[in-house]
């Protein structure tokens, strides 16, 4: 058996019929708070301020990337610089025993 029921009503009428609370006043207050926060933080979204914040970090990342690539290409590694210091420590340890 198949039964179709079509009900035409507004969302407010459906909420009232089902006994659900009216959330419209709360929703309006929340939207006012969100709009206020957006207005207060708009100066942070200024393109000039964004670039001033992002460029130094981005340049540092690019320098690190290309520094790593050139060290790999030339065969230099960060461990090679400290290997001399570790050899000195190991030779001192060998003299004591």
Q: What is the pLDDT of residues 3-61, one digit of tens each?
A: 999 999 998 899 999 999 988 899 999 999 999 998 888 777 777 777 777 777 778 88
Q: Rounded to two decimals, what is the model's pTM?
A: 0.38
Which residues, 6+ apart, have CB-to-CB distance to 46 below 8 Å?
none
**∠ CA 11-12-18 to the nearest 5 degrees?**
85
Quick check: helix, strand or coil at residue 83? helix
Answer for the pair 74, 67: CB distance below 8 angstroms, yes or no.
no
Q: Is the dihedral of CA 47, 48, 49, 50 positive or negative?
A: positive
């Amino acid at each position: 058996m198949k039964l179709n029921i079509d009900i035409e009503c507004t969302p407010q009428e459906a909420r009232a019929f089902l006994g659900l609370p009216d959330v419209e006043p709360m929703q309006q207050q929340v939207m006012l708070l969100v709009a206020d926060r957006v207005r207060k933080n708009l100066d942070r979204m200024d393109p000039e301020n964004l670039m001033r914040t992002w460029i130094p970090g981005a340049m540092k990342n690019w320098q690190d990337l290309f520094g790593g690539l050139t060290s790999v290409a030339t065969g230099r590694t960060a461990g090679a610089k400290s290997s001399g210091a570790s050899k000195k420590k190991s030779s001192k340890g060998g003299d004591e025993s």
